[in-house]
Structure 1
């Protein structure tokens, strides 16, 4: 199911400073965990040959680094200091391969994808200090020829003036099933009812937080992927972006 954006919505657009290239086009793909937004972002970046940003990974990396250094995750300022030191890059790689997350010279892709790390990331994501520390770092990814930004507030906070905005969602049940299959393939022992409860709790926390709640930008195109195959979603989004850029570079 696809819902068109409010064409009159301009309240969320503002002039923002960036340490990247503010003229480079940006596609924002927001949505809850398990909606398919990550798969879409990486696949779209490959097709367009653009850079990709997994903003959720930045929070996971920060949380993981803090935990390894023995920092109490309830101490917002201490966690924010760690966020300032992250030397991270993302590599889309070949089709069919997951997005690689590189911290310094170390590949930490698998390490940050655990349920525990995800829960820690959601905990620190509510801290304004941490969000501010990572804000300019995220904007620095905006470089030519373009950026596909995957997250939860890419179109509302980080890139409010993005040329293309999409909000990808799916039912909690579908997202839990997807995560269950993913974890099983990784050899983890998990229970589907537990995953569903965790997703529902995370949704409630993310949508009700005071700082940058998880909501679609008013000018975003909303796509429900519950019954849509990933390739169909990719083709649809890519066509919109490519056609628009061809008509108005």
Structure 2
């Protein structure tokens, strides 16, 4: 009999801390952490590098067959995204790529292209997978579903501080405006809009420290999963 793997789905808007919290929780549990947003960012990065409008479905569709995407993990569980045999992880978190990723992720052809790749990882590993449609579309039968959020102002400040550490010149106001615009696009797209799954637990981390958020996630997971 094929081994049954556990799957944890964590969804939520940009800047909610999904990646950091999910990665730390996965390390604590001995699970593989999968940042699905990074895969969409890789497609967006490829489109931008070729001068393709990320909203142009025909052009993006023509691009997809040339993309060889691979996820790899370091010994400490950090996910790296490889595109056509090059590690592009350090290029994926700029505001330009964030905006482009929101646009390509609204294209049905892109979502279909990446769907099975995400499911294969979940079938072959115990995973904590984060994104915007994991509990609703990618892993509808996940053992635990959590919708993680925080106020736009808190999320923007977190993202801005992250960019500051990398030396990016973006202002807090610009990051907040970009985040609000992306929330609007992600929540209102026709395909797999950002929303909590019907059976997801809602967790607002606005008033929580990082460690408090991680502890809250772990508590929710351990209620249903024995590891």
**TM-score using structure 2 length:** 0.90
Root mean square deviation, CA, Å: 2.1
Tell me which of 20, 24, 42 is aligned to 1:61: 42
Tell me which of 186, 189, 200 is aligned to 1:206: 186
CA spacing shift, 1:22–1:121, aligned 2, 3 Å: farther
Instruction: Determine whether 1:86 maps to 2:35.
Output: no
The 1-side partners of 2:156 and 2:100 are apart by 18
Indicate conservation of the 8 Å contact 1:22/1:142, yes or no: no
Instruction: Determine whether 1:40 maps to 2:40.
Output: no
| 1:144, distance to aligned residue in structure 2 (A) | 4.4
Deviations 1:170-193 (A, max 9, x none): 000001111111111111111111
Deviations 1:173-216 (A, max 9, x none): 00111111111111111111111111111111111111111101
**TM-score using structure 1 length:** 0.83
Which structure carries more helix by proportion? 2
Instruction: Determine whether 1:165 maps to 2:123.
Output: no
SS of alignment partner, residue 113 of structure 1: coil
SS of alignment partner, residue 117 of structure 2: helix
The 2-side partners of 1:218 and 1:22 are apart by 27
The 1-side partners of 2:188 and 2:3 are apart by 30
SS of alignment partner, residue 142 of structure 1: helix
| 1:233, distance to aligned residue in structure 2 (A) | 1.9
**Tell me, which stretches of 5 or more residues in structure 1 are unaligned?**
1-20
Deviations 1:113-144 (A, max 9, x none): 11111111111111111111111111111144
| 1:145, distance to aligned residue in structure 2 (A) | 4.4
Q: Which residue of 1 aligns with 2:135?
A: 155
SS of alignment partner, residue 122 of structure 2: coil
| 1:101, distance to aligned residue in structure 2 (A) | 2.7
Alignment size in residue pairs: 225
The 2-side partners of 1:74 and 1:135 are apart by 19
